Amino acid sequence: MAADHRPKPRRWALAAPAALYAVLVFGRATANTFWLDDYGWVRNAILASREPIALLALEAGFFRPVVNLVFLANYLLSGLDPAGYYWVNIALHVINASLVATLAYRLSGHNGIAAGVAGLLFAGAVGNYGEAVIWICGRTELVATAFGLSTLLLYLRFAETGRRRFLACATATYALALLSKESAVVWLPAIVLLDLTANRRLLPPARRLLRVALFAARYAPFAALLVAYAAYQYAVQSGHGLYADHYRLGWHALANWVEYISLMFVPVTARSTIIALPGSAQTALAVLAWGVRLAILASVAALLAFRAPAHVRFAALFTLMAIVPYSLFDWKTTTRYLYIPSVGLAIALGWAIEQAWALAAGIGRPRWTRW
């Protein structure tokens, strides 16, 4: 294979456009005020400023001390001015957009165009519509995503160099992600998926049993954290009404999972609570939604069957996998829960747009072949 002599952009060159675009898109949200669950988080921050033990309090039944700490810092800086809280959300989103661009760049073999487009798409909230950004209490998603993306980048660095300090740092950021929101459990399966797709070339050659042992050693710190976290959550949450009554296995989970797939492209559904649609429009919308679902699932199948680049297969499968934890709720779907899944969508679409541009410009063709 010929060496890649393309000039490599500086990291700020990838992050800066995404950061600027995120501010342009969401800057006006700073004129909003507190709403619904925001008051509970701010009230706990006020209490924690006097009694630090409140950082370990359950907010609405959830154990999220890292987010409590972020709200405390926000309160100490902004007081009760809502604008300061929205600016923190925007700053977190800017960080995440930069991390998405960096991850896409690393996984794509330093494809600056695909990575830059992925960062811009995520900055513009493609696939999630920014509900987690423009709702103050939605920062649970933002914080968990920041630590989750950091975990992937640090683990990728460990896979490339073999240096244990990167594995230790990745384990620490995974712990912080878990202490930010329960949906962060998805980042451990994401690491496994990363190894099975984009990282396969980095895996040490070994016999099958030895490879299993090497994998176990890699995943053991993350798995231990996850088991301890799950045990604690079960002990704390099993009697809480939210989990006892609304979070469970059932056919509703499959229905929600399928609906979330189309919700990433069609923000209104027949079950939407914000917009009431007439019956005829609901029928047309349902047909459109099913068309989108089938098209997306067919596209993912094509990416796998025709051996798309490894990082694109990772992105597509991660998108579908990251929806699963939210699908178990038996209430109506919400775009706020699509923030983490849209990481994969942005990376996959960034590659697709770069490929389309290369074809249109006559400077290349799809770099993927059948198995």
For the segment 106-135, the average pLDDT, to the nearest whole number, is 90
In a domain, 109, yes or no: yes
Kindly give the residue spans of alpha helices, DSSP state H, lying in 3-59. Answer: 11-26, 38-50
pTM of the model: 0.86
Q: Give the domain range for residue 294.
A: 11-361
Residues written for the chain: 371
Residue 367, pLDDT > 60, answer no
Q: What is the pLDDT of residue 341?
A: 94
> Is the pLDDT reported for residue 263 higher than 50?
yes
Q: Report the share of the chain in percent with pLDDT over 90.
A: 34
**121 pLDDT tier (thresholds 50, 70, 90):** very high
**Model confidence band, residue 368 (pLDDT cutoffs 50, 70, 90):** very low
Summarised one tens digit per residue, pLDDT across range 327-366 is 888 777 788 889 999 999 999 999 888 888 878 776 655 5
Helix (H, G, I), strand (E, B) or coil at 329: strand
Whether residue 298 lies inside any domain: the answer is yes
- Residue 2 in domain: no
DSSP SS3 for 185? helix
Mean pLDDT on 71-80 = 92
Q: Closest Cα partner for 297 from 339, 260, 247?
A: 260
Tell me the average pLDDT of the chain. Answer: 82
pLDDT tier, 231 (very low <50, low <70, confident <90, very high otherwise): confident
4 lies in some domain: no
Q: Is 288 a domain residue? A: yes
Q: Tell whether the model's pLDDT for residue 1 goes beyond 70.
A: no
**How far is residue 361's CA from residue 355's CA, in Å, rounded to a whole number?**
10
How many distinct structural domains can be found in the chain? Answer: 1
Residue 208 has pLDDT above 60, yes or no: no
Beta partners for 223? none
**Confidence class of residue 35 from pLDDT cuts 50, 70 and 90?**
confident
Is a pLDDT exceeding 90 seen at residue 85?
Answer: yes
**Cα atoms in the 13 Å half-sphere on the side-chain side of 79:** 1
Whether residue 367 lies inside any domain: the answer is no
Q: What is the pLDDT of residue 3?
A: 45
**Higher pLDDT residue, 302 or 326?**
326
Q: Evaluate if residue 322 carries a pLDDT over 90.
A: yes
Is residue 3 included in any domain, yes or no?
no
**1 falls within a domain:** no
pLDDT value of position 4: 47
